[in-house]
Structure formats: structure tokens, C-alpha cells
């Protein structure tokens, strides 16, 4: 069985079942399993969050039985509520070159504000970003003008995978070296020509260093998915991203080939010239 990008063998399933009957909670089960099979992140830490997600999916599909959760499921409480802090700001107009922009990482203090802005003004709303992630505020004179979110790459994307030229095994081994620009929002009261491409260029220049400082490894490629019917991807093209093709509108849950999701263009930005070598080897 495959969950969270990992193949679970029969022996490992038996181990999970054994741990689940030992009287320990779900967190302890995931930690013990990761230690036993040496399931770790690139920085050496245990891959506990991925393990918890995998165990919950196994439980819901009836493959294992986990002990009852010690705390109630609060996922329904995660949706941010709009406050005065994210109300419309002062209108900003003009050329992007006229503004002194700064880019800052959202931390534990400012993270909820980032979530609130995204939920209030981004057409996709707020959902927790998957896996490793970094969220940015872009400000001009201390006023927020834009937000970006980077997170774990998509498990499969045919245009991207064909562009890289890697096989399934190499994709499993090296997928963490790709980072997904999952959210990009210019606040609606900001109308500045060329601002989007300038912000993307600023983010590209620092994402490698920021990612290394947080996760102890450097990504080699960025990706993003742009809904074809909504946007043309003009700002990504202006910032020298490459369009690798289009999705089929399926998604990972479309096992019946119903193609119910929007078709998206797939844009890539190499963070180093030899990125294909890193991903293929």
C-alpha cells in the first residue's frame, strides 16, 4: 500500500498493528514506527507528520485500527475569521520600481495574519500548506502588498516530470528537491504594473537560502500551477519561469478519469543550471 509517497510492506503494516495494541497514543505510534523503519526527512528528523497522515488514511480505509484520539479533531476550527487587521488598506498605484519592497518570513506571530489574508482575498482560500513550507509577506513602507507561500511539490505532474526526464524511482527519491509556489496573492487594493514579476524575482533570490536555514537542504527547482481559464501566467513568464505544459484536470483522486478539476498550466523555475542532473541521479 502507498501512502504519503511511501510503500508500506506487509511487515510494516504488522508493526503498525502491533504498536496500535500496545496502549500508546497515535503520536507515540507514529514516532515509534518512524524510528523503527528509519523514515526520516532530508534534515534527519523523523517524518512524523507524514506518518500520522498515512496512519489516519489506513485507519479510515479499514486496514488498521488506531486508538481513539486524545484530542478532538479541530480541523473545522482552522479556517481564519476576518478581522480588522486584514481590512482593505490604502490604495497603492504606480510602477513597481517606485516602491521599496521588503520580503519577510511569516513566523508564529504573523503566521495567523498570513492565513487570514489568504483566506479572505485569495480565490482558493486558506488551507494548511502540505509538508515543508515557508510563507512570505511582501511589504512597502511596512504596509503589506503581497503574500507568497511555498510548500511540498506535487507527487505527480506529467508536464513537469517529462521536462525533468526522471523515472518513478528517482521521483520518489528526489521529489523533496522541488518546491511548490502554492499561493501568490497581490492584495486587491494594490495596482502596480510589473509588481508581480518583481516580487517573484525577489522570492527566487532568497528561497534557496531560507529553505536551507529551515530544512538543512537546498531545493533545485520551483514549480507552480496556474488555472488556465483564470490566468495566463504572464507574471511567471515575465519572471523567466518556463511553461512545461498543461494538466489534464484530473487530480490524484480521479481514478475514474472524470477530469472534473480545472486545467492548469505548469510553470517551472530552475534554481541551478544542473537541476536535471540533481533530480535524475
Residue 254 clears pLDDT 50, i.e. is over it: no
The pLDDT tens digits of the residues spanning 8-51 come to 999 999 999 999 998 899 999 999 999 999 999 888 899 998 89
The pLDDT tens digits of the residues spanning 124-180 come to 999 999 888 999 999 988 889 999 999 999 999 999 999 999 999 999 899 999 999
Q: Cell numbers of 281, please?
A: 541521479
Stretch (H or E) spanning 242: strand 242-246
Please report the pLDDT score of residue 251 as a whole number.
Answer: 58
Please report the pLDDT score of residue 109 as a whole number.
Answer: 93
Cα gap 176→24, rounded to integer Å: 31
Please report the pLDDT score of residue 75 as a whole number.
Answer: 52
pLDDT-based confidence at residue 253 (cuts at 50, 70, 90): very low
63 φψ region: left (φ > 0), alpha (ψ -120 to 50), beta (else): alpha
- Which residues lie closer than 8 Å to 41 by C-beta, 6 or more apart? 47, 132, 176, 215
CATH number assigned to the domain covering 93-280: 3.40.630.30
Query: What's the pTM?
Result: 0.81
Residue 204 clears pLDDT 70, i.e. is over it: yes
Please report the pLDDT score of residue 82 as a whole number.
Answer: 86
Query: Angle 10-20/48-60 helices, nearest 10 degrees?
Result: 90
Domain boundaries, the chain: 2-60, 93-280
Please report the pLDDT score of residue 131 as a whole number.
Answer: 85
- Which residues lie closer than 8 Å to 203 by C-beta, 6 or more apart? 103, 136, 148, 150, 181
Kindly state the average pLDDT of the residues 227-249: 94
The pLDDT tens digits of the residues spanning 62-114 come to 999 999 988 765 554 568 888 999 999 888 887 767 778 999 999 999 999 99
Please report the pLDDT score of residue 244 as a whole number.
Answer: 97
Amino acid at each position: 500500500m502507498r501512502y504519503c509517497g511511501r510503500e508500506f510492506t506487509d511487515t510494516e503494516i504488522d508493526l503498525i498493528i502491533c504498536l496500535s495494541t500496545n496502549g500508546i497514543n497515535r503520536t507515540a505510534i507514529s514516532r515509534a514506527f518512524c524510528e523503527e523503519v528509519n523514515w526520516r526527512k532530508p534534515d534527519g528528523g523523523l517524518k512524523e507528520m507524514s506518518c500520522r497522515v498515512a496512519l489516519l488514511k489506513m485507519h479510515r480505509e479499514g486496514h488498521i485500527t488506531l486508538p481513539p484520539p486524545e484530542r478532538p479533531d479541530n480541523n473545522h476550527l482552522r479556517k481564519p475569521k476576518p478581522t480588522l487587521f486584514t481590512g482593505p488598506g490604502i490604495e497603492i498605484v504606480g510602477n513597481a520600481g517606485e516602491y521599496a519592497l521588503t520580503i519577510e518570513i511569516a513566523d508564529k506571530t504573523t503566521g495567523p495574519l498570513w492565513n487570514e489574508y489568504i483566506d479572505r482575498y485569495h480565490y482558493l482560500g486558506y488551507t494548511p500548506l502540505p509538508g515543508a513550507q515557508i510563507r512570505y509577506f511582501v511589504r512597502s513602507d511596512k504596509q503589506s502588498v503581497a503574500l507568497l507561500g511555498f510548500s511540498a511539490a506535487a507527487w505527480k505532474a506529467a508536464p513537469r516530470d517529462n521536462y525533468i526526464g526522471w523515472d518513478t524511482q528517482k521521483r520518489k527519491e528526489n521529489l523533496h528537491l522541488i518546491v511548490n509556489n502554492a499561493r501568490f496573492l497581490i492584495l486587491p487594493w494594490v495596482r502596480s504594473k510589473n509588481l508581480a514579476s518583481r516580487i517573484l524575482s525577489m522570492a527566487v533570490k532568497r528561497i534557496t537560502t531560507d529553505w536551507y536555514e529551515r530544512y538543512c537542504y537546498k531545493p533545485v527547482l520551483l514549480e507552480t500551477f496556474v488555472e488556465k481559464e483564470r490566468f495566463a501566467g504572464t507574471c511567471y513568464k515575465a519572471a523567466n519561469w518556463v511553461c512545461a505544459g498543461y494538466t489534464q484536470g484530473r487530480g490524484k483522486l480521479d481514478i475514474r478519469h472524470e477530469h472534473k478539476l480545472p486545467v492548469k498550466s505548469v510553470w517551472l523555475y530552475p534554481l541551478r543550471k544542473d537541476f536535471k542532473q540533481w533530480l535524475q541521479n
